[in-house]
Structure 1
């Protein structure tokens, strides 16, 4: 007479114990040290919050009054425009430098490597100052034939405005970093993909745009999002050129009313708000390009629990 197994754990597959623990839950363990640490952290947060609320020197009424002011909002718009244009320049320059570094010609690759070394090695603050005072080296910028006639000539101070100097300083510096990001993404694609596309008769540009780049975007997108957020904050250095972006607009205000701390807090709140929005956008873009990739930890846990439930509810093997 056949009887069913009364001990399902005896023939449980490997890993079923882990799934069972995840399903049923583990016994609650109290760790005094962890609870003490959590209590200290909460107490420190309470002290900081209490100080922020009760310290009259923060002048929160002044902070929120200037937070929505037209002058700071105009500076914010200039900061956003400067960030977008500088990142666009940086991406274009980065892609060109990355392709040049991967070129088979040694002169082209070496020149691109030198430019990356130069713009990455000099601090961006120094580069902004250099472009701001470019007229001291080249009073006039001309285009023409070397040792021949000039076709176009303009005063350097007219051409290189503070805004243009900011774009050149931020964009070229960003291009050097973006070139390494793009190059890493391109090198992450297996060489066999390119060889297979070449065997199918695809041209080089088609291979790059249809085969290599779509696969490299998973590597390129996350650091590019981080660079965009970093660029938003780096624009504050443009205040050295007297360009009225967000920080310099706040400086102009507190130089007149002497409300230094409230104005800096108001500007910081705008930076935090925009950074949070950019971080959220980066999350959705990464999720879009990671479709079909590695599942998240939460999905893995759910899969384990589902397998554990199936193993418990499945009919047991009948033994003779």
Structure 2
């Protein structure tokens, strides 16, 4: 409000001009109130002004909305990341448990096979577990978790549910070392199951096959023939599976046939094995068969006159 130099208000001055201006202002205010009350013009004006001012409000509020949106997005992302991490850990744990259950199921199946083998053998056997392996081009041996304190002796045969694995060669107080049949120093007397041919299966370098180098040329040996222990020498009991013939070919000299066989036992997969307590006795020359038939004095070609003489004397 304008003030005079003496500090008095011009609107409420005693002059006529100030009074007229006051009346005009009051009348204008009354007219505006009446018009606004009847027609709502001021509301329309405020609406139009809001149309112009609202974008400015929105523009001014964008930084705050952006900050809020970023905070929410970061919180959601962190929450989703944590949840994904928990789900990933749960999935890994579930897979580990599933694999463990699968491994336990396979182990139970192998133990069941060993138990069935034990019942079918009707022999005194001892369960053992592999705790170490010593595989190489010149050694093919395993360490078992039983030893002298458990009654293990050198020479005991080691088998699994599929066939002969090897033989114990060294005994410690609570462990023992078994030489597998694929060891280069191993030799197992075997018989070709189909024909009854007797030969020896040797271990080879690399420890994956058996070698049969001294088969007669005239022998009937074919791919797929099964090899079983012959029992000769007393090291391995008779009748246990040893391997299956894979290849047969003449040797370099041409005087013998040479064959290669795959071991019947799961040498690289077996974890539980059986030790045979009952060792096979050494097999020597066959004992003479008892005589069957008529007495020697009545055999064809015997002197019947002597028989008649003996009957007459009686």
Structure 1 length-normalised TM: 0.21
Q: Higher strand fraction: Structure 1 or Structure 2?
A: 2
Q: Higher helix fraction: Structure 1 or Structure 2?
A: 1
Say which one has the larger Rg. Answer: 2
Give the number of the structure with larger relative contact order, counting CA–CA contacts within 8 Å between residues 6 or more apart. Answer: 1
